Chain A
Amino acid sequence: NAGVTQTPKFRILKIGQSMTLQCAQDMNHNYMYWYRQDPGMGLKLIYYSVGAGITDKGEVPNGYNVSRSTTEDFPLRLELAAPSQTSVYFCASSITPGQGLLSDQPQHFGDGTRLSIL
């Protein structure tokens, strides 16, 4: 099973460029998440989606956009790349939480996209 697949694994962008980080899952999970992890730090939630067509902001959404047109895919877009967005980006998915809370179901993570903005 592939689980959660993220592409690309590495990317270098120039300031002001845009790009889309791809995320796909084959577990038929309704919930999907995007996180960023800065060096030596924990993960911070950027955006999440509870199903196709529905997205919501996390802790650090500024500078990013997401869409969820299918259950399988949850791309993250950077419109105007800035040095502060240099980070490792992780996508995750989970089954629908039983009590409607994000924290009550285990999340399955991809291996990340390492992004540098120069």
Chain B
Amino acid sequence: LAKTTQPISMDSYEGQEVNITCSHNNIATNDYITWYQQFPSQGPRFIIQGYKTKVTNEVASLFIPADRKSSTLSLPRVSLSDTAVYYCLVGGGDDKIIFGKGTRLHILP
């Protein structure tokens, strides 16, 4: 059963680049890696998804090494509004979905 491990919390300052790493040692061949952002009292919001190498969109980049046993979400030049919980998600085996506890990112002024 695929499982993800992320830091429980991180602090950073406005304008900095933030990198959040997720470990997923048991990732299956067909699994994609997806990151979600969640603000208090809201549902998770899709940020980025990838299978291998590097993916970039207008809000983030996702780095995936060749062995795919980990991935790193990179948020460029964060602002206070990026304070949220970030979830790394991979397939859960038997076509299930496993959300971990996420990383609580706190951006300081």
Interface residues in chain A, defined as those with a beta carbon under 8 Å from any beta carbon in chain B = 4, 33, 35, 40-45, 58-59, 90, 92, 99-104, 106-112
Q: Are B31 and A103 in contact (CB under 8 A)?
A: yes
Interface residues in chain B, defined as those with a beta carbon under 8 Å from any beta carbon in chain A = 30-32, 34, 41-46, 49, 87, 89-92, 95-102
Q: Identify which of B43, B89, B92, B102 contacts A90 (C-beta below 8 A).
A: B43
Q: Are B101 and A101 in contact (CB under 8 A)?
A: no
Q: Please give the distance in Å from B105's CB to the nearest CB on chain A.
A: 15
Q: Please give the distance in Å from B12's CB to the nearest CB on chain A.
A: 21
Q: Are A103 and B91 in contact (CB under 8 A)?
A: yes
Among A43, A44, A58, A92, max chain B CB count under 10 A is at A43
Q: Are A106 and B49 in contact (CB under 8 A)?
A: yes
Q: Are B42 and A112 in contact (CB under 8 A)?
A: yes
Inter-chain CA distance A99–B41, complex, in Å, is 32
Q: Are A110 and B49 in contact (CB under 8 A)?
A: no
Q: Are A109 and B44 in contact (CB under 8 A)?
A: yes
Among A4, A42, A104, A112, max chain B CB count under 10 A is at A42
Residue of B nearest to A114 (CB): B41
Among A41, A90, A103, A107, max chain B CB count under 10 A is at A103
Q: 28 pairs across A/B with beta carbons < 8 Å?
A: A4-B43, A40-B101, A42-B87, A42-B99, A42-B102, A44-B99, A45-B96, A58-B97, A59-B96, A59-B98, A90-B44, A101-B91, A101-B95, A102-B91, A102-B96, A102-B97, A103-B32, A103-B89, A103-B90, A104-B32, A104-B91, A106-B34, A106-B46, A107-B44, A109-B42, A109-B45, A111-B41, A112-B41
